Amino acid sequence: MRGGDIESRGEKNRGSNHASSHAVEDTDTPWLSWLIPLFVVANVVMFVIVMYFNNCSKHDQGCVARFLGRFSFQPLRENPLFGPSSSTLERLGGLEWKKVVHQHQGWRLITCIWLHAGVIHLIANMLSLVIIGIRLEQQCGFVRIGIIYLLSGIGGSILSSLFIQRNISVGASGALFGLLGAMLSELITNWSIYTNKVCALLTLLVIVAINLAVGILPHVDNFAHIGGFLTGFLLGFVLLPRPQLGWMQRRNLPAGVRVNSKYKAYQYGLGLVSLVLLVAGFTIGLVLLFRGVNGYDHCHWCHYLSCVPTSRWKCDGN
């Protein structure tokens, strides 16, 4: 981390010469991004560990890339993403409803975020994390982005567990969608300091819509995407509001001169409402989960959020 608090950097030039249509760029040195690269390394290391324990060459003759020895991949008919077996993922912390609810292994809500089903899955998520996360960390700092990433991942795991109760779920997608949600709420709560704001909003909405639309394909856990996105969206209002333009200068005015509030009224309002909704959502979700509630019992049409049947594939409703 370089310099002082992000709110004190580049304030004097925020009123002019904005460099981006998406975000207001600080004119001083941005935060040094180290947490997101650390997350990338952690995910890669975890995948290597998973493949080491998987040891396909010992248990299956049809392994892919057998020259890798115990790091070879499961047969493509079992895992087309070039990765380990589902039993290995389950053993090392994959999200599995029965183990969370009936065996009280709530820690799986967190560990599943660091596991990936295969090389393709890992590369896709890590590229997205680098593209989205590094920019956000440079702009907002590692503390806030780290909180958003982790809580969004957990939020995605909770919603996924309420609906996906027969399959194993792994991946950082919920956390990634949380960063996308935070980008959207950050744009909304700091609307007045953006240039080309409508274009930025429409672009971001299209990106989010496309990514959520991909989630209706079979074998994609869109509930983790939705849960992570909603969590990050609410957290953005709580953690990412920016001071009003020129506030840093006004607070240094002589005594007796009225100083405006650091944040606008709507920023306080959005932050408070979002915090209440976030706490309520996590509380209700965890209570329902550990009571063994099936989300489909209360939302019969929700299966369309995760898989839409077509002439090319079918959905099992789970």
* Domain-embedded: residue 317: no
Q: How far apart are CA 187 and CA 199, in angstroms?
A: 11
Tokens of 2: 């370089």
Q: Is 160 known to be catalytic? A: no
Task: Count CB-CB contacts under 10 A for residue 293.
Answer: 15
Burial 204-235 (b: 16+ CB within 10 A, else e): beeebeebbeebbeeeebbbbbbbbbbbbbbb
Q: How far apart are CA 133 and CA 117, in angstroms?
A: 21
CA gap 22, 81 in Å, rounded: 34
Give me the number of domains the chain comprises.
1
CATH number at residue 123: 1.20.1540.10
* pTM of this structure: 0.84
In a domain, 16, yes or no: no
Residue 286 is assigned to a structural domain of this protein: yes
* pLDDT tens-digit profile, the chain (318 residues): 444 333 333 333 434 344 343 444 443 468 889 999 999 999 999 999 999 999 998 877 789 988 998 899 999 988 989 999 999 999 999 999 999 999 999 999 999 999 999 999 999 999 999 999 999 999 999 999 999 999 999 999 999 999 988 889 999 999 999 999 999 999 999 888 777 878 888 888 888 888 877 777 667 788 999 999 999 999 999 999 988 765 655 555 555 545 567 788 899 999 999 999 999 999 999 999 999 999 988 888 887 787 777 766 667 644
Tokens of 285: 């979700």
Whether 318 maps to a domain, the answer reads: no
Active-site pick, 22, 116, 121, 225: 225
Is 6 within the bounds of a domain? no
Q: CA angle at residue 286 from 273 to 40, to 5 degrees? A: 85
Evaluate whether residue 12 is within a structural domain.
Answer: no
Residue 71 domain flag: yes
**Chain-centre distance of CA 274, in angstroms?**
17
| Domain carrying residue 143 | 21-249+261-305
Report the candidate in 209, 140, 128 with the shortest Cα–Cα distance to residue 175. Answer: 128
pLDDT digits (tens, 9 = 90+) for 124-183: 999 999 999 999 999 999 999 999 999 999 999 999 999 988 889 999 999 999 999 999
CA 239 to mean position of chain CA atoms = 15
Question: Within a domain: residue 9?
Answer: no
Using CA atoms, how far residue 229 sits from 130, 153, 224, 264, in Å, is 17, 9, 8, 25
72, 157, 169, 173: which one is catalytic?
A: 173
Q: Residue 152 catalytic?
A: no
Letter string b/e over residues 263-272, b meaning 16 or more CB atoms within 10 A of that residue's CB: bbeebeebbe
